[in-house]
Amino acid sequence: MLDMKSLLRSNKPYINHMLNLQMDGYNPVESPSGSPKSFIYLVIASQAKFWGGFSWTEPRQIFNYHVLFSVLGLVFLYGDSILVFRVFRSYRKLPVKILHAVLHILAFLFGVLGIKAAFDMHNALSIPNLYSLHSWLGITAIVVFGLQWVGGLIGFLVPQTPQIARSKLLPIHVTFGSFLYLLMIGVCISGITEKNFFSKNYSVLNARELIGNLIGVVLVIFGGLIFYLTHHPNYRRIEPVPPECTLQK
């Protein structure tokens, strides 16, 4: 039996940390990394319960790892990696860049594990691979995500990269990263819809199909909050003022 209070209590230190952050112009209550994420944890756990839990030996339970890892990596961790430049917007840029890159690679690894789980289930049950629109978009998104990470690493963390090249690359990197994140949300929603359609009773909207729909709705809200915080001018990064400039009148 799922205990919502226990689940939220387990996330309380992190939520409190977000609520206590002192950042001029940034309201952590609006951050999707707070209580909305706890709700998503709850509905994912509920879906796992309705679909039989997790196992690396039972084919249909292997697939639940696909759902969990894909959402955890390509929605949550990816979203958090985008937000680090807003949450730590007055910090020195290099540590924030490194954190951004680390969260990105973790998101990518979870995404790859999620895809592996889908292939393992299909192969075990002799189901064809890569026949659906969901799978086409998913594979494309994860490959492009990896290329985006490599491009960002070379463009912004390699010291030899010229500053003029970084300046030209930055708006492309930010815009394309936002587009790719929204694509990830769309891929997840198409996967949820596809999984629900495999149920013979989807039109009846039983508990597990209802949970699937709710996850999709929350993912849209989560993605919208990420997009809002990323593009609203009030939450832009504050570039530190050089010490010598502060002495000028």
What are the residue boundaries of the structural domains of the chain, listed by start?
Answer: 51-239
Range with top average pLDDT, 47-51, 131-135, 229-233: 131-135
Q: Is the dihedral of CA 102, 53, 185, 187 positive or negative?
A: positive
- Within 8 A by CB and 6+ apart from 149, the residues are 101, 104, 105, 108
Length of the chain: 249
**Token pair recorded at residue 240:** 């530190």
More reliable by pLDDT, 23 or 47? 47
More reliable by pLDDT, 33 or 26? 33
Return d(Cα 156, Cα 165) in angstroms, integer.
9
* Displacement of CA 220 from its chain's centroid (Å): 12
Using pLDDT thresholds of 50, 70 and 90, give the confidence band for residue 105. very high
**Token pair recorded at residue 117:** 């789980």
Whether residue 89 contacts residue 23, with contact meaning beta carbons closer than 8 Å, is answered with yes
> In degrees, to the nearest 5, what angle opens at C-alpha 24 toward C-alphas 230 and 94?
60
Encode pLDDT of 183-201 as tens digits.
Answer: 999 999 999 999 888 877 7
Give pTM, 2 decimals: 0.78
In order of 21, 104, 158, 165, 170, the CA distances from 97 in angstroms are 19, 10, 11, 17, 12
Q: What is the DSSP letter of 103?
A: H
Q: Which of 72, 101, 68 is closest to 84 using CA atoms?
A: 101
CATH of 51-239, one of 3.40.1170.60, 1.20.120.1770, 1.20.210.10, 3.30.70.890: 1.20.120.1770
Using pLDDT thresholds of 50, 70 and 90, give the confidence band for residue 18. very low
Return d(Cα 56, Cα 123) in angstroms, integer.
13
